[in-house]
Amino acid sequence: MNRTIRLTVLALSLWPAFAFGQSATVAMQYPEWDQLTPTQRDALIAPLRERWNRNPDERARMAERAQRWTSMPREQRDRAGHGMQRWEHMSPEQRSEARALFHAMRGMDKEQRKAFMAQWRQKTPQQKTDWLKAHPAPERRQRE
């Protein structure tokens, strides 16, 4: 995880305790957005504001993702959040493998993806390594 994201996650995890004047270990109920003070709201959105201002070429993509996120049903947002957490805990090698698999399955329908993953799970570690060498993940876009 890059430094900016780590600091943002840390700040957001500790923010309620500082913003509400409580210890970080105390379990608490979080208020609705409308009940937050302007300072508390600003503390939540400051990392996003900085990223937005720092990356003018990324603004269209950021806006599109925000729109897509708000239009997702709650269950889909929960799955996406779980996927983001899994991604953050992957090693660079695991991420490269995931990118390659995603790229390979991108144009497949649900049944084709299911069959592909069943075949993938049957491969030996050496077969997986050979496949990944033959089908590398596309180059990553650089961010921030």
Domain regions of the chain by residue span: 1-54, 56-89, 92-144
User: What is the pLDDT at residue 21?
Assistant: 54
Q: Which of these ranges, 14-18, 26-30, 78-82, 110-114, has the smallest mean pLDDT?
A: 14-18
Q: How many angstroms separate the CA atoms of 83 and 93, rounded?
A: 17
Q: How many angstroms separate the CA atoms of 76 and 82, rounded?
A: 10
Three-state DSSP state, 29: coil
User: What is the pLDDT at residue 31?
Assistant: 87
Q: Which of these ranges, 17-21, 75-79, 121-125, has the smallest mean pLDDT?
A: 17-21
* pTM of the shown model: 0.56
User: What is the pLDDT at residue 7?
Assistant: 47
pLDDT tens digits, one per residue of 64-107: 988 998 899 999 999 999 998 999 999 999 999 999 999 999 99
Higher pLDDT, 72 or 10: 72
User: What is the pLDDT at residue 19?
Assistant: 52
Q: How many angstroms separate the CA atoms of 120 and 91, rounded?
A: 19
pLDDT band at 27 (very low <50, low <70, confident <90, very high): low
Instruction: Give kind and range of the element (H or E) at residue 59.
Output: helix 59-71
